[in-house]
């Protein structure tokens, strides 16, 4: 018999693009949180800098570096990374933050049988905007309809870099809706709330770096962009409800 590789308990999924400045610091903060059989999946979305070389320089067998054939953007790149995950607990990670010590076990403990946990994060290294002041509260974990409304309206913000998802819930979230080109984190949070299987952890478990390349806007977007986003979020609710009903009937 050929030896089998133990299944990872933890999978960390990272979308990378031109992240050479900070990606090693991010990976260095993640690896001490993991066990010997866990994995860090880095999908490099055709970076034009030395991102791949920097990742490859970290000599750790738990890192799986995947080179994309074409540049597809961060949503599709995260989708691919999540699809590659083999662990029971799947964490999302940006390429330029810093995980705080003990993060993994605190978040898993907070799950308490639920399918998703989202913590808060401490922003650093840049000016904050209106969105950065929004924080999750533990007492809202069971207010699922209110949370869904908050996602659609825009007052309940979930940071993807602060998320962890159980495999069974992730299977409902994948593939991402075909029309989605932004806010994969709000989609995942919608799936968690539709299934009434989400926990909000009030503490900061990550240092979220702010810089000019961040995708989250600092202020109010144009009216047309706001309307398009709200329509997409409403579609997300419909798709999430449909998938949840299908999962229950299976």
pLDDT digits (tens, 9 = 90+) for 37-61: 999 999 999 999 999 999 999 999 9
Please report, rounded to a whole number, the percentage of residues in the chain having pLDDT higher than 70.
95
The answer, yes or no, to whether residue 120 has pLDDT greater than 90, is: yes
Per-residue pLDDT, averaged over 222-227, amounts to: 80
Confidence of residue 213 (pLDDT cuts 50, 70, 90): low
pLDDT at residue 250 in the model: 81
pLDDT at residue 132 in the model: 83
pTM of the model: 0.92
| H, E, C per residue of the chain | CCCCCCCCCEEEEEEECCCCCCHHHHHHHHHHHCCCCCEEEEEECCCCCCHHHHHHCCCCCCEEEEECCCCCCHHHHHHHHHHHCCCCEEEEECCCCEECCCHHHHHHHHHCCCCEEEEEEEEECCCCCHHHHCCCCHHHCCCHHHHHHHHHHCCCCCCHHHEEEEHHHHHHHCCCCCCCCCCHHHHHHHHHHHCCCEEEEEEEEEEEECCCCCCCCCCCCCHHHHHHHHHHHHHHHHHHHHHHHHHHHC
The answer, yes or no, to whether residue 166 has pLDDT greater than 90, is: yes
pLDDT at residue 164 in the model: 98
pLDDT at residue 226 in the model: 81
Please report, rounded to a whole number, the percentage of residues in the chain having pLDDT higher than 90.
84
Least confident of 17-21, 151-155, 161-165: 151-155
pLDDT at residue 1 in the model: 39
- Please report, for the chain, the start and end positions of each structural domain, with discontinuous segments joined by +: 1-96, 98-250
Q: Does domain 1-96 have CATH number 3.90.550.10?
A: yes
Confidence of residue 125 (pLDDT cuts 50, 70, 90): confident
pLDDT at residue 3 in the model: 52
pLDDT at residue 56 in the model: 97
Per-residue pLDDT, averaged over 142-149, amounts to: 97
Average pLDDT, the chain: 93
The answer, yes or no, to whether residue 197 has pLDDT greater than 80, is: yes
pLDDT digits (tens, 9 = 90+) for 60-69: 999 999 999 9
């Amino acid at each position: 018999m050929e030896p089998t590789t133990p299944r990872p308990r933890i999978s960390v999924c990272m979308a990378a693009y031109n992240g050479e400045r900070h990606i090693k610091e991010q990976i260095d903060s993640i690896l001490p949180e993991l066990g010997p059989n866990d994995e860090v999946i880095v999908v490099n979305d055709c970076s034009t800098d030395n991102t791949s070389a920097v990742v490859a320089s970290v000599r750790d067998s738990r890192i799986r570096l995947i080179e994309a054939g074409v540049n597809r953007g961060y949503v599709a790149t995260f989708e691919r990374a999540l699809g590659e995950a083999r662990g029971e607990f799947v964490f999302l990670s940006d390429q330029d933050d810093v995980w705080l010590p003990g993060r993994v076990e605190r978040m898993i403990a907070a799950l308490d049988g639920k399918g998703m946990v989202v913590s808060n994060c401490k922003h650093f290294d840049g000016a904050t905007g209106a969105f950065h002041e929004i924080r999750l509260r533990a007492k809202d974990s069971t207010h699922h309809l209110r949370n869904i409304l908050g996602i659609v309206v825009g007052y309940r913000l979930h940071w993807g870099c602060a998320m962890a998802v159980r495999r069974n819930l992730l299977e409902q979230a994948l593939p991402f809706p075909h029309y989605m080109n932004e806010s994969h984190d709000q989609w995942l949070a919608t799936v968690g709330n539709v299934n009434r299987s989400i926990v909000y952890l009030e503490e900061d478990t990550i240092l979220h770096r702010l810089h000019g390349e961040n995708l989250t806007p600092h202020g109010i977007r144009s009216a047309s962009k706001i309307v398009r986003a709200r329509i997409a979020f409403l579609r997300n609710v419909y798709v999430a409800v449909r998938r949840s009903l299908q999962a229950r009937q299976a």
